[in-house]
């Protein structure tokens, strides 16, 4: 963990439950009790119905690659020596999309429609980041 060079996300009042769950290696999503929809990213107001009646529900952690790219070079600090890697939108079984990384021994095997499951990368003792691996 001491070698983690990438920027680490910080929690705010709207995202704290999400990051607290990630630290426990659980994926949770905001769910609106008003319109009965999941949404992502976390925010205080439901983007579907604009109500603030938000609950946190454990997600399945399963989904499929919706869109993706194999990144070969990224000049941002912490990413310079990381390529190639997969940057993807994953569509979770709950219907929301997350921008994330798909971890694969060969990034060129990851395609749109590839089934994936969540895993967590412990960036620091306080922050774990959800990423995805290929599942069969």
Instruction: Break the chain into its structural domains and give their ranges.
Output: 16-134
pLDDT at 42 over 80: yes
- 34: tokens are 């008003």
Report DSSP letters for 11-73, one per residue: --TTTHHHHHHHHTT--EEEEETTTTEE-SS--SS-TTT----EEEEE---EEEEEEEEEE--
- Of 3-17, 24-38, 121-135, the one with minimum mean pLDDT is 3-17
pLDDT of residue 78: 67
pLDDT of residue 65: 98
Let me know: does 88 contact 66? Beta carbons within 8 Å. Answer: yes
Higher-confidence residue: 96 or 71? 96
pLDDT at 35 over 60: yes
pLDDT digits 0-9 by tens, 53-91: 999 999 999 999 999 999 987 777 766 667 799 999 999
């Amino acid at each position: 963990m001491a070698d983690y060079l990438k920027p680490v996300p910080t929690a705010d009042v709207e995202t704290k439950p999400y990051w607290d769950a990630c630290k426990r290696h659980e994926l949770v999503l905001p769910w609106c009790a008003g319109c009965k929809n999941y949404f992502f990213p976390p925010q205080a107001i439901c983007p579907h119905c604009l109500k603030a009646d938000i609950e946190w529900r454990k997600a399945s952690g399963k989904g499929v690659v919706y869109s993706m790219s194999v990144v070969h070079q990224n000049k941002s600090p912490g990413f310079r020596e990381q390529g190639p890697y997969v940057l993807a939108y994953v569509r979770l079984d709950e219907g929301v999309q997350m921008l994330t990384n798909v971890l694969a021994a060969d990034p060129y095997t990851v395609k749109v429609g590839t089934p994936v499951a969540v895993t967590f990368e412990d960036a620091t003792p306080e922050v774990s980041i959800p990423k995805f691996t290929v599942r069969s």
